[in-house]
C-alpha cells in the first residue's frame, strides 16, 4: 500500500489532481535541501522585487 | 510650508507617510489620520488565529513611532472631504472625528495641500445576511482573521472546537469567503491549512471534517485569474498546484460559491450554475467582502460631489480606464499608474483604497444574475510600492510644483512576492512561496499566460516558512522605523 496515494480514492475531485510521493514530502522539510531552496527563493524574490520598484 | 494629510495608517498609508516625512524633512508637515492606535502586521494574524502568536506579537502603538519621525498623528476617523474648501476660503479640508480615549466623537477640521487616501477597506460583513451583526460589525455566527482582535476571537472559538474534538465529538470546519465578491482568498487559504496543521499536531485530525468554500471559479485563482508557473519543465496552472495541496490534506472544496446567508451552524450558498445549497458547520471562518470606507465629498457650495472622487463601491477614482467594457477588451494599460484623482490633482489613493478599473479574474455570474467572482487583490507588496510611488510624486510636487512628472507604479508592471503559510514550526512548518510577475496579466507582452514564467513560480516547503517568519520580523522592524528601515524593500 502506498500511503501517500490513498487520498486519490477519497473524492472524485481529488482523483483528478496530483499528490506528492514520499520523496517529495520528505524534501519539503529536509533541512539541507530547504536551506538551498531558501537561498534560491530569496534570490528569485529579490529579482522580482527589484523589477517592481 | 505645505501639509500632506494621509488618511489611513496601514501598509500603504504608513509607507506613504514615513517616506514622505523622510524626503520632506522639517520644512513641511505630514499628518496621518487613522482611527487605530496600533499598527498591525496583518499577514501574521493567521498565526494569532491558531494560537501560535499573541496579539502583542503582531501589533505596536503608532504614537511613539510617529513622534520619533516627526509625523503629526491624529487618532481619528476621517468622515468628509471638501476638496474645494468652503465659501470664502479655497483651502481644501477634511472633517475628522476623534477615536482617542477622552475625546471620542469630537470633530475637527483639518486643512491640506495634498491628500492621500490610504484607508484600506471597510470590512463589509453586512453584505451577507448573518455574516454581520446588522450594524457593520462581525456577527456571532462565524469568525474572521482580518484584524488582530478578530484573530484572537477566532483562536478562542477554534480552541473550543478542538476541545470538543478531543472529547470525541466530530467537528465540521468551514473556511473561505463569505460573499460572491470577496478578495483575500490567500488569508483564508493560509488559515485553513494552519488549522489542519494544528489539528495534526494535536492528534485530532481524524475528528475534523475540514471544508473550503470560495467564490473563485477554480482553486488557485486568488483573484488574479490564477497563474502559471514552471515546475519540472512544465508551465502549469496554479489550479493544479492548489488542488494538489487540498487533496493531499484531505480538505474538500466548494468553488464558484456565493455565500448568501449565514445562520448559527449553517450557511446557504449559490453556485455558478444557479443552484442553491446548504452547508453545516461547527466552526467557520468566512472572509467578508470589502468596500470603500464610505467617505462623502462636498463642493464649496455644499453640493454632494462624492461621485467625482469615488466609484459607487466607495473606492477612490484614480487614473484608471474605467470604461474598458467587456472582458475581451481588457488590457494591462487599463490599470492606473500614478493613482492621482482625475478631478483633483492634489488627491491620490494608495493600496486597497483605489478603485481598480475592473476585475483581473474572468467575470462570472450565475444564471440568476448573481456575480460570483473574486475582486482584485491589492494588499501587501503592491500596497507598499504604490504608497512609496505616491509619496515620491507628492514630495516632487511640493518641492518643484504641480507640473512635475509623477512616479508610476502600475500593477501591470510590478510583481508580487507572496508567502502563504501552511503550518507554523521552525523545523516542521511549511509555506507556499510564490512570486507573480506582473500582478495584472499582460497578454500583449506575454502571450499565452499573460505573465513572465521566468519570474512567476511557486513551491511549498520549510524554506517558505522560514521566509514568512523572517518577513514578519523584518516588516515590523521596518514599520517601527528602526535603523536602516529604508533598506528593506516594500
Each residue's pLDDT, cut to its tens digit, for chain B (490 residues) gives 999 999 999 999 999 999 999 999 999 999 999 999 999 999 999 999 999 999 999 999 999 999 999 999 999 999 999 999 999 999 999 999 999 999 999 999 999 999 999 999 999 999 999 999 999 999 999 999 999 999 999 999 999 999 999 999 999 999 999 999 999 899 999 999 999 999 999 999 999 999 999 999 999 999 999 999 988 788 999 999 999 999 999 999 999 999 999 999 999 999 999 999 999 999 999 999 999 999 999 999 999 999 999 999 999 999 999 999 999 999 999 999 999 999 999 999 999 999 999 999 999 999 999 999 999 998 889 999 999 999 999 999 999 999 999 999 999 999 999 999 999 999 999 999 999 999 999 999 999 999 999 999 999 999 999 999 999 999 999 999 999 999 999 8
B453 contacts on A by Cβ (under 8 Å): none
Residue B97 burial (10 A CB sphere; 0-12, 13-18, 19+):
middle
**Which residue on chain B is closest to A33 by alpha carbon?**
B463
Query: What residues in chain B have their Cβ under 8 A from chain A's Cβ atoms?
Result: 240, 243-244, 246-248, 250, 252-253, 381, 385, 388, 413-417, 427-428, 430, 433, 435, 437, 455, 457, 459-464, 466-467, 489-490
Domain ranges of chain B: 3-123+290-400
Q: Does A37 touch chain B (CB under 8 A)?
A: yes
A47 — contact with chain B (CB < 8 Å)?
yes
**Do B319 and B210 meet the contact criterion of CB atoms below 8 Å apart?**
no
Contact state of A13 with B385 under an 8 Å Cβ cutoff: no
Cβ–Cβ below 8 Å for B415 and A44: no
What is residue A37's predicted lDDT score, i.e. its pLDDT? Answer: 97
SS (H, E, C) chain B: CCEEEEECCCHHHHHHHHHHHHHHHHHCEEEEEECCCEEECHHHHHHHCCCCCCHHHHEEEHHHHHHHHCCEEEEEEEEEEECCCECCECCCEEEEEECCCCCCCCEEEEECCEEEECCCCEECHHHCCCCECCCCCECCCCECCCCHHHHHHHHHHHHHHHHHHHCCCCEEEEEEECCCCCCCHHHHHHHHHHHHHHHHHHCCHHHEEEEEECCCCCCCCCCCCCCEEEECCEEEEHHHHHHHHHHHCCCEEECCEEEEEEECCEEEEEECCCCEEEEECCEEEEECCEECCCCEEECCCCCECHHHHECCCCCECCCCCCCCCCHHHCCHHHCCCCCECCCCCCEEECHHHECCCCCCCCCCECCCCCECCCCCCCCCHHHHHHHHHHHHHHHHHHHHCCCCCCCCCCCCCCCEEEEEECCCCCCCCCEEEEEECCCCCCCCCCCCCCCCCCCCEEEEEHHHHHHHHHHHHHHHHHHCCCCCHHHCCC
Structural domain total, chain A? 1
Peptide bond into B276 cis (omega under 30): no
- By Cβ distance, the residue of B243, B244, B417 closest to A45 is B417
Is residue A36 scored above 90 in pLDDT? Answer: yes
A28-36 average pLDDT score: 97
Query: Does the beta-carbon distance from B240 to A17 stay under 8 Å?
Result: yes
Range of the domain at A21: 3-52
Phi, psi of B226 (to 5 degrees): 75, -175
Question: Of B213 and A4, which is predicted with more confidence?
Answer: B213
A45 touches chain B (CB under 8 A): yes
Residue of B nearest to A15 (CA): B247
Query: Do B170 and B133 touch, CB atoms closer than 8 A?
Result: no
pLDDT tops 90 at residue A53 = no
- Best A18, A29, A52, A53 member to test B by mutation, with max B CBs in 10 Å, is A52
Q: Which residue of chain B has the CA closest to A38?
A: B463
> Do residue A19 and residue B244 have CB atoms under 8 angstroms apart?
yes
Using a CB-CB cut-off of 8 Å, the residues of chain A touching B252 are: 11, 13
Beta strand ranges found along A1-53 (DSSP E) = none
Full DSSP string of A26-39 = HHHT-HHHHHHHHH
Would you state the pLDDT for residue A2? 87
What pLDDT score was predicted for residue B40?
A: 96
Q: Please tell me the predicted confidence (pLDDT) of residue B184.
A: 84
- Which residues in A lie closer than 8 A to residue B381 (C-beta atoms)? 49, 52
Sheet arrangement for strand B283-287: B252-254, B208-213, B171-177, B283-287
Q: Which of B65, B67, B73, B71 is nearest to B481 (CA)?
A: B65
Task: Tell which of A20, A31, A48 to mutate to test the B interface (max B CBs under 10 Å).
Answer: A48
Residues of A in contact with B451 (CB under 8 A): none
Residue linked to cell 474605467: B322
As a whole number of angstroms, the distance between CA B387 and CA B406 comes to 13
CATH (one of 3.30.360.10, 3.50.50.100, 3.40.630.10, 3.40.50.300) for B3-123+290-400:
3.50.50.100
- In Å, how far is A1's CA from the nearest CA of chain B? 16
- Residue showing cell 501517500: A4
- What is the rounded distance in angstroms from the CA atom of residue B363 to the CA atom of residue B369? 12
Amino acid at each position: 500500500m502506498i500511503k501517500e496515494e490513498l487520498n486519490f480514492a477519497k473524492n472524485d475531485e481529488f482523483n483528478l489532481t496530483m499528490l506528492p510521493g514520499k520523496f517529495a514530502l520528505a524534501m519539503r522539510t529536509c533541512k539541507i535541501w530547504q536551506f538551498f531552496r531558501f537561498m534560491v527563493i530569496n534570490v528569485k524574490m529579490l529579482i522580482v522585487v527589484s523589477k517592481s520598484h | 510650508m505645505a501639509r500632506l494629510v494621509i488618511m489611513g495608517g496601514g501598509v500603504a498609508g504608513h509607507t506613504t507617510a514615513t517616506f514622505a516625512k523622510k524626503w520632506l524633512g522639517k520644512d513641511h508637515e505630514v499628518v496621518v489620520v487613522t482611527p487605530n492606535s496600533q499598527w498591525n502586521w496583518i499577514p501574521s494574524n493567521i498565526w494569532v488565529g491558531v494560537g501560535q502568536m499573541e496579539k502583542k506579537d503582531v501589533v505596536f502603538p503608532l504614537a511613539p513611532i510617529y513622534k520619533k519621525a516627526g509625523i503629526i498623528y491624529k487618532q481619528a476617523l476621517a468622515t468628509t472631504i471638501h476638496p474645494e474648501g468652503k465659501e470664502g476660503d479655497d483651502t481644501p479640508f477634511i472633517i475628522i472625528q476623534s477615536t482617542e480615549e477622552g475625546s471620542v466623537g469630537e470633530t475637527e477640521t483639518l486643512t491640506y495641500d495634498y491628500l492621500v487616501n490610504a484607508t484600506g477597506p471597510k470590512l463589509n460583513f453586512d453584505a451577507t445576511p448573518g455574516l454581520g451583526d446588522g450594524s457593520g460589525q462581525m456577527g456571532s455566527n462565524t469568525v474572521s482573521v482580518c484584524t488582530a482582535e478578530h484573530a484572537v476571537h477566532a483562536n478562542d472559538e477554534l480552541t473550543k472546537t478542538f476541545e470538543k474534538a478531543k472529547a470525541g465529538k466530530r467537528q465540521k470546519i468551514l473556511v473561505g469567503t463569505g460573499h460572491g465578491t470577496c478578495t483575500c482568498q490567500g488569508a483564508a487559504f493560509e488559515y485553513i491549512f494552519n488549522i489542519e496543521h494544528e489539528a495534526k499536531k494535536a492528534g485530532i485530525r481524524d475528528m475534523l471534517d475540514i471544508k473550503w468554500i470560495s467564490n473563485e471559479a477554480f482553486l488557485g485563482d486568488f483573484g488574479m485569474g490564477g497563474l502559471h508557473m514552471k515546475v519540472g519543465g512544465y508551465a502549469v496552472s496554479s489550479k493544479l498546484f492548489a488542488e494538489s495541496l487540498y487533496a493531499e490534506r484531505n480538505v474538500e472544496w466548494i468553488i464558484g460559491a456565493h455565500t448568501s446567508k449565514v445562520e448559527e451552524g449553517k450557511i446557504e450558498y449559490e453556485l455558478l450554475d444557479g443552484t442553491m445549497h446548504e452547508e453545516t458547520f461547527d466552526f467557520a471562518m468566512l472572509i467578508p467582502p470589502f468596500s470603500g470606507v464610505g467617505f462623502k465629498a462636498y463642493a464649496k457650495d455644499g453640493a454632494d460631489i462624492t461621485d467625482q472622487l469615488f466609484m459607487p463601491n466607495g473606492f477612490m477614482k484614480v487614473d484608471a480606464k474605467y470604461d474598458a467594457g467587456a472582458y475581451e477588451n481588457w488590457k494591462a494599460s487599463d490599470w492606473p499608474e500614478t493613482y492621482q484623482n482625475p478631478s483633483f490633482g492634489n488627491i491620490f489613493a494608495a493600496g486597497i483604497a483605489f478603485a481598480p478599473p475592473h476585475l483581473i479574474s474572468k467575470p462570472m455570474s450565475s444564471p440568476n444574475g448573481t456575480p460570483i467572482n473574486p475582486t482584485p487583490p491589492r494588499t501587501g507588496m503592491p500596497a507598499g510600492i504604490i504608497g512609496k510611488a505616491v509619496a515620491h510624486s507628492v514630495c516632487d510636487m511640493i518641492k518643484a510644483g504641480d507640473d512635475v512628472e509623477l512616479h508610476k507604479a502600475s500593477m501591470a508592471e510590478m510583481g508580487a512576492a507572496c508567502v502563504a503559510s501552511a503550518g507554523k514550526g521552525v523545523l516542521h512548518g511549511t509555506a507556499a512561496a510564490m512570486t507573480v510577475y506582473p500582478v495584472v496579466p499582460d497578454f500583449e507582452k506575454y502571450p499565452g499566460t499573460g505573465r513572465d514564467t521566468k519570474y512567476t513560480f511557486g513551491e511549498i516547503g520549510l524554506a517558505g516558512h522560514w521566509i514568512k517568519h523572517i518577513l514578519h520580523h523584518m516588516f515590523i522592524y521596518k514599520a517601527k522605523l528602526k535603523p536602516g528601515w529604508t533598506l528593506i524593500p516594500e
